[in-house]
Amino acid sequence: MENLITVIHVLAAAGVIGLVLIQHGKGADMGAAFGSGASGSLFGVSGSSNILSKLTAACVVVFFCTSLTLAYMASHRAGNSSVIKMPAASNNINVVPTATKAPETAPSGNTAKDIPN
């Protein structure tokens, strides 16, 4: 299921990119993109702005929905609550203490009795 949503997500992203790149400014029509001088001949009198803007909006809605769905699926995946991989309890890791017992004798050096007044 996640793979299908990922494929739809990538296709929607490519569709948004392609449709935005195809669109022109307010003065140009789709016929001008193909080199013809007749404006409005490809999509009729209404021009390309309505069709391309609706297709772009549809792709953006699909992209947004798949983004939220993939984020939800990733956050509710069982067993992946942290990015740091913790060792399992069954690995039998033996921990050796590094601290040793303090020495029984006092440290050598000057003490308060050795200092003259």
The per-residue pLDDT for range 29-86, each reduced to its tens digit, is 555 556 555 555 555 555 556 888 899 999 999 999 999 999 999 888 766 566 676 6
Query: What phi and psi, each to the nearest 5 degrees, are found at residue 67?
Result: -65, -45
The per-residue pLDDT for range 83-107, each reduced to its tens digit, is 676 666 555 556 666 666 666 666 6
- According to the model, what pLDDT value does residue 43 have? 58
Q: Where are the domains of the chain?
A: 2-78
| Long-range pairs for 12-16: beta carbons < 8 A, 24 or more residues apart | 12/59, 12/60, 12/62, 12/63, 12/66, 13/63, 15/55, 15/59, 15/62, 16/56, 16/59, 16/60, 16/63
Whether 108 shows a pLDDT value over 70: the answer reads no
- According to the model, what pLDDT value does residue 17 have? 95
- According to the model, what pLDDT value does residue 34 have? 60
Encoded amino acid at 22, one letter: I
- Note whether 2 and 73 are within 8 A (CB): yes
- Sequence-ordered list of residues with C-beta below 8 angstroms from that of 66, at least 6 positions apart, any chain: 5, 6, 8, 9, 12
